[in-house]
Chains A and B, each alone.
Chain A
Amino acid sequence: MQLLTGWGRTAATRATVQRPASAAEVVDAVTKSDGPLIARGLGRSYNDAAQIAGGTVLDLTGLDAVEQLAPDTGRVTAGAGLSIDRLLRYVLPHGWFVPVTPGTRQVTLGGALAGDVHGKNHHVDGSMADHVTHADLVLPDGSMRRVAPGSVPKKGSDLFWETAGGMGLTGILTSVGLQLVPVSSSQVLVDTDRAHNLEHLLSLLGEDDPENPYSVAWIDLVSRGAQMGRGVVTRGRHATRDDLPIDQRSSALAFNPRTLLATPPLFPSGLLNRVTVRAFNEAWYRKAPERRRDELQTITAFFHPLDGVAGWNRVYGPRGFLQYQLAVPDDGVQAIVDTVELISGSGTASFLAVLKRFGPGNPGWLSFPIEGWTLALDLPNVAGLAPLLDQLDELVLSVGGRVNLTKDARVDPARMREMYPRLQDFISLRETLDPSGRLASDLARRLHI
């Protein structure tokens, strides 16, 4: 028995944890279990998606083999429990990179597909499921199924687009096939621009920039008045071998990131308050150049800066934190402005806030991205947060937006149905696919999925 939470360290519940070492052992666990089960990877989902109170959690990190890599085409098949970190260490020396990476490499391929995660290139390249070639799934009845995005089902549903973003509730993923992208170095060329206010920030991010597939903005959500919504926009593209200084070209694909720091286990939670966050934001904003072009950065520095600090989620103290990520269509950009205003004006200090463009969504039934804008806020779990976030939900819904299921830890179940039009279909699918409710998570129970 083990106490489990997501990365936000909220709503801990206890479950039996099993660690299968093969797909056959997963089948065994599913058929023999008398209570509900859910899969868990590295626990990076912020919420209660990978835990089930009183049930069984299948820790899939034992299924971590690279089963197949075609070095000429960049097609890889690996165990669903393999992390992007280990995958990169394996494929980068061969000149391949993952098509999508979230802000941490410490996610498993299974989790990345079940949450249909996105990265800084969503507006150009879409989300994880858009690059998955196939996946193996143990269904609730214990049978194995291979699903793929393009395959035409003989009868009923193929389950691929139900599984993409399906939060592990269609079956237990055991293996994932992925199309990698070619790179000739392990570094990134980065352009940085400082934005003096929100309007400036939105216009910089909204610019057409075909050269840079990666773009994101950090927002200062403490500043008010004329500086409200100021931030730093970074855009990047993979550096070619020739972009590197001559002495680095012979090891252009070197990749050996290390953890630099560890958060002490008892971090005083009072350190994150409006005053310290304001000071940090000021320093962060001033540190960024007004305008800089073609700066070489490592993959870690550009894509996964927080991976350098082990256990950074502990800085929020024992109550943990929530990440609120919203997406709104282009014509709903006012909701972004209103959210920034609301948070900047409230006493709750958001330590980390990130804004970026989304390209068109994919057919994933519960996939989060929709074309437009997305804003992600890390918020300490303080008293009074619930009504503030309820207010944000209303704002988001009023413009046809939604919050990210992989991060949500408190949305009203009825509102979630409005945000995801196919959620009701998903629930009906679960009734036929899993009539005895063999798969369940705290998230599924909380949202009545």
Chain B
Amino acid sequence: MIDATGRPERVLLLGGTSEIGLAIVARLLEGRPGEVVLTGRDAHGLARAAGLLASSGHDVTTHVLDATKVADHGPVLDDVLADPVDVVVLAVGQLGDQASMLDDPVAAARLLEVNLVGAGSLAIRIAGRLRSQGYGHLIVLSSVAAERPRSSNHIYGASKAGLDALSRGLSEDLHGSGAGATVLRPGFVHTRMTAGLSPAPFATTPEAVAQIAAEAVRTRRAVAYAPGVLRWVMLVLRLLPRPLFRRLPA
């Protein structure tokens, strides 16, 4: 169950090697041993992540699951969800290289398949499950890139925009069901995925994002930014006239 202070005891991380996802799991279960289920494509990466969580006293199991093989999701998740799950973190996603994807539309389609088609199908499946449980919380990792396309990353942005819209819709559907969903929109986060990129303003860390995610579970917030100030920054950026927006540094 999720206690009154928003503390869960059984957490499922989809995208089980995601640094942000793992930081959220660690934060949610901080100070009390819990149960963790990790799913992902990379068995070795999952095993490594599981080892780390187990060393903090958590009971961890892993399942290999490819987000793009949507027909496989049912059997694997039916097994995982035989027992109620308190919080599900959906951290399936890739950044991709914008420049090469523009020259390789097939690679762009693959990114959309992972970030939007695969993750979206998982989100729908999980929301349905939480609804029938009568409680539980889904955290979907979106991005501030979902809010306004920029030439530097609009393929990634489009995939996240689709997932973001879908998840907000699911969050509305869940209203009154006892369960809830949070769309989490981090800005630039220092992780393996962004290594080598020059950090954008308001860059943050997985741990800081995790803190905001945990607070969103307690307050059942529908949309959260990390850091929080990005809510206002993005509000301004959305309203900025195009000629000005174009001039912003990439």
Contact = CB atoms under 8 A, between A and B. Distances in A.
Nearest to B6: A386
Contact of A54 (B4, B32, B133): B133
B3 interface: yes
B178 A381 contact: no
A332 B5 CA distance: 27
Interface in A430-449: 442, 445-446
Contacts of B7: 386, 410
B219 A319 contact: yes
Contacts, number: 71
A383 interface: yes
A22 interface: no
Given A14-B134, A410-B4, A412-B32, A53 B84 contact: yes
Contact of B4 (A1, A8, A14, A55): A8
Interface in A271-285: none
Interface in A385-426: 385-387, 389-390, 409-410, 412
A47 B4 contact: yes
A409 to B, nearest CB: 3
Contacts of A54: 84, 132-135
A10 interface: yes
A11 B133 contact: no
B227 to A, nearest CB: 15
A58 to B, nearest CB: 16
Contacts of B56: none
A385 B219 CA distance: 13
Contacts of A47: 4
Nearest to B7: A386
A386 B177 CA distance: 25
Given A53-B178, A319-B219, A386 B1 contact: no
Interface in A3-56: 3, 8, 10-15, 47-48, 53-55
A-side interface mostly? loop
A269 to B, nearest CB: 11
B4 A445 contact: no
B1 A446 contact: yes
A13 B135 contact: yes
A386 B135 CA distance: 20
Contact of A15 (B3, B134, B215): B134
Contacts of B135: 11-14, 53-54, 442
A389 B5 contact: yes
Nearest to A412: B32
B177 A409 contact: no
Nearest to B132: A54
Given A53-B178, A54-B133, A409 B219 contact: no
A269 B9 CA distance: 28
Given A383-B218, A412-B32, A442 B1 contact: yes
Interface residues of B, number: 22
A326 interface: no
B249 interface: no
Contacts of A355: none
B3 A409 contact: yes
Interface string A283-327: 000000000000000000000000000000000000110100000
Interface in B210-249: 215, 218-219
A390 B215 contact: no
A36 to B, nearest CB: 11
Contact of A381 (B5, B31, B134): B5
Interface in B131-188: 132-135, 176-179
A10 B218 CA distance: 9
Interface centre among A53, A389, A390, A409 (most CB of B within 10 A): A53
B101 interface: no
A12 B6 CA distance: 11
Contacts of A385: 5
B2 interface: yes
A1 B31 CA distance: 34
A14 B178 contact: yes
Contacts of B9: 446
A387 B218 contact: no
A3 B1 contact: no
Given A381-B4, A383-B215, A386-B7, A53 B32 contact: no
Given A3-B176, A53-B84, A10 B134 contact: no
Nearest to A413: B9
A445 B6 CA distance: 15
A386 B178 contact: no
Contacts of B84: 53-54, 445
Interface string B186-222: 0000000000000000000000000000010011000
A243 B2 CA distance: 52
B31 to A, nearest CB: 7
Interface in B5-49: 5-7, 9, 31-32
A382 to B, nearest CB: 9
Given A53-B135, A390-B31, A11 B177 contact: no
B31 A11 contact: no
Contacts of B4: 8, 10-11, 47-48, 320, 322, 381, 409-410
Interface of A: 1, 3, 8, 10-15, 47-48, 53-55, 319-320, 322, 381, 383, 385-387, 389-390, 409-410, 412, 442, 445-446
Given A3-B178, A386-B5, A386-B31, 20 more contacts: A3-B176, A10-B5, A12-B135, A13-B135, A13-B178, A14-B134, A14-B177, A14-B178, A14-B179, A48-B4, A54-B135, A55-B134, A319-B219, A381-B4, A381-B5, A383-B218, A387-B31, A410-B5, A412-B32, A446-B1
13 contacts: A11-B3, A11-B135, A12-B135, A12-B178, A14-B134, A53-B1, A54-B84, A54-B132, A386-B31, A410-B5, A442-B135, A445-B1, A446-B3
Which 3 A/B pairs are nearest by Cβ-Cβ distance? A14-B178, A409-B4, A10-B4
